[in-house]
Chain A
Amino acid sequence: MWYLCVFYHRLLEYRKPEFESLAGLFGAFAGSTTGSLEWRLPEDQHPDSPFHFVNIPSEEIARNIASRSILVKGIYELWGEGQSFEELEEAIKSYSDEQKLPYLTPDSTFKITVESFGKVISFHEQNIRLQKLAFIPFKGRVNLKNPDHKFFLMDNDDYGSENGLPPIVERRIFFGREIGAADRKILQTYQLKSRKYLGPTAMDAEMAFLMANQAQVRTGKLVYDPFVGTGSILIAAAHFGAMTMGADIDIRVVRDGRGPDCNVWSNFKQYELPMPLSLLRADNNLPPWRSGLKEVFDAIICDPPYGVRAGGRKSGGRKLLKGVVAPYTVPDDKRTGHIPSTAPYSLVECVHDLLDLAARMLVPGGRLVYFYPVLRDNESVDPNFPEHPCFELIASCEQILSYRYSRVLLTMIKIAPYTEDIAEAARIRHLEFKENHLKWLEDGNLHSAVFEPAEIQINGSGDAKFGTKPKYRGKYV
């Protein structure tokens, strides 16, 4: 059945992938957890418009998607649409009574919300618009607090101003019955500013929930984050009922935090979430998993260190890998309590290790969801994302972070088993990374590319500026 889906005007590239991941989670693809839905753009709408039509097998699935989603403002059964109120009235009148009458009965309560995308409309104007719906035979009583049925009158217009919103060809008005809506209150509950224990790269709550949705996290699933830090991603996974496990190479972050009441455990306690099953200090470059262990995690969700805000570290000793000193042997009397030095971990190697880990440790059909940084030298984002024979990339969603770089949320599904050959190839590559440590570090250095001073254009009047700001901001929202 076709429904009207209205998105929040945020993170535009994340909207449909989130919707489809949730559709898979709630059984829209008959047995499969992946697939794509049919989408249609209403007339006269820009592709970035919040209004979309989508074909979903049942109302129940639509309701489930909406209530779990972060970016869906609402899903509606469309009763009519048009360029003008006259067209809208005609459309609503010709919509089948069988669909309408059950929601207009005298014993029910209802509420009509009047909204205009990108514009605040006065109470007076809302009333004028409501009056135009008088032809609909509402028999029930109005209840603004807790109605049985919620109706929405929404429109999208060009207000003739450069308001940074997607350009509009013609006004479009929609009227429909709400099937389900997102609960964005959880974002307030989990917002970082009220969280006790934070690190410099703690994942923003909205993004952490989006990642958990992309990974189809649900009750009883086991989710692993190899770069757990302060646990911000696992918190979202635990909110959706998953069992969680996390590892980090920095023991101070996972074990000590900032004291007994300010650490990863206390973050979970703060939200009354079940504690992670396991937190450990381990190196993603030399993971301590026993041989023969495979296919245990349902999802791996992480934000790998890409050397812009924080750099990755791996075992091995920085001087040793640089070739400055000979291999160091820890004296026997100093072994207890010895703090091994670590070496920088290049992004390429980090991603290679992550894919290898995921290929081995994810269950068939399991999902790997992680951020990958991209320099924005060119207009278009580099489409050469990491590949692996065990994985299919199903979504890549860009989030622009600065003038210089973006991060792209990649969602990959494990489609093939981890074979001996793949394991052997990964082992050889691991050794190659180790031998050419310095070369890989220099090749993959994002930090200098991101922080190098910009070439400042000087215009006629001598003012410095960074190019002109585009009228429509697109993915910047």
Chain B
Amino acid sequence: MRLLTHNMLSSNIKGVTNGFPLLIEVEKVVEKQVDFNEDFLRNMFAKIEWKALVKASRTMGYTELPENSEASMLNSDEFLRKFHHALLELHLEEGALVCPETGRKFPVNKGIPNMLLHEDEV
């Protein structure tokens, strides 16, 4: 699971009002290379919840992202590289996503988050 995915997901358990961002429990992180595409990053930048991305990348052991961001940073190649790496190349292979409100764990095995709810959570 890339952090792009993490940034899009929330806990959608019935009754949960604040299911984002999911906490990350790390068991195994791998780095997977992705082709660098500047346009893609520029498009995604506006859609990303920056604070959640920074926090998630730190949990995964990557501390290079600045605390705050603004659109003007997209002009820096260095920033784009870091953003690219955090968003697309850090990959949670084994671990879990944890609902911030209820503590329910959504397991991540073989890189696939299992977001399906139990019968009593629907």
Contact B112 A280 (CB under 8 A): yes
| Chain A residues closer than 8 Å to B19, beta-carbon distance | 290
Q: Does A275 contact B (CB under 8 A)?
A: yes
Minimum CB–CB distance from B40 to chain A (whole Å) comes to 4
The CA-CA distance from A286 to B1 in the complex, in Å, is 20
B119 close to A280 (CB less than 8 A)? no
* Chain A interfacial positions (CB closer than 8 Å to B): 219-222, 243, 245, 249, 251, 254-256, 274-275, 277-283, 286-291, 293, 295-296, 315-317, 320, 327-330, 335-336, 338, 340-341
**A17: shortest Cβ distance to chain B, in Å?**
26
Min CB distance, A406 to chain B, in Å? 32
Residues on B with beta carbons closer than 8 Å to the beta carbon of A330? 118-120
**Chain A residues within 8 Å of B116, by CB:** 249, 251, 281-283, 315, 340
Q: Is the CB of A327 within 8 A of B120?
A: yes
**Nearest CB of B to A261, in Å:** 13
User: Is the Cβ of B2 less than 8 Å from the Cβ of A278?
Assistant: yes
Q: Which residues of B contact A220 (CB under 8 A)?
A: 37, 39-40, 43
Given A255-B110, A277-B88 in contact, is the A288-B5 Cβ separation under 8 Å?
A: no
Asked if residues B40 and A296 are in contact (CB atoms below 8 Å), the reply is no
Binds A, one of B9-17, B54-62, B72-80: B9-17
Contacts of B122 in A (CB 8 A): 286, 315-317
Question: When the two chains form their complex, are residues A219 and B5 in contact, meaning their CB atoms are under 8 A apart?
Answer: no
Q: With a CB–CB cut-off of 8 A, which chain B residues contact A293?
A: 8, 47
Across the A-B interface, give the 5 residue pairs with the lowest CB-CB distance, nearest first.
A290-B10, A278-B5, A317-B119, A290-B20, A255-B112
Number of interface residues of B (CB under 8 A): 39
Q: A316: which of B11, B47, B113, B119 is its contact (CB, 8 Å)?
A: B119
Beyond A275-B32, A338-B118, list 16 extra A-B contacts (CB 8 Å).
A219-B37, A251-B112, A251-B114, A255-B112, A278-B1, A280-B113, A286-B122, A289-B8, A289-B10, A290-B20, A315-B117, A316-B119, A336-B105, A340-B117, A340-B118, A341-B119
Chain B residues with CB below 8 A from A340, complex form: 116-119
Knowing A280-B113, A316-B119, the reply to whether A291 touches B10 (Cβ < 8 A) is yes
Roughly how many angstroms separate A197 CA and B116 CA in the complex, as a whole number?
24
Q: How far is the CA of A289 from the CA of B113 in the complex (A)?
A: 13
Expressed in whole angstroms, the minimum distance between the Cβ of A172 and any Cβ of chain B is 45
B71 on interface, CB distance cutoff 8 Å: no
- B117, A286: Cβ atoms closer than 8 Å: yes
A7 nearest CB across to chain B (Å): 33
User: Does A282 contact B40, Cβ atoms closer than 8 Å?
Assistant: no
Which residues from A are CB-within-8-Å of B120? Answer: 327-330
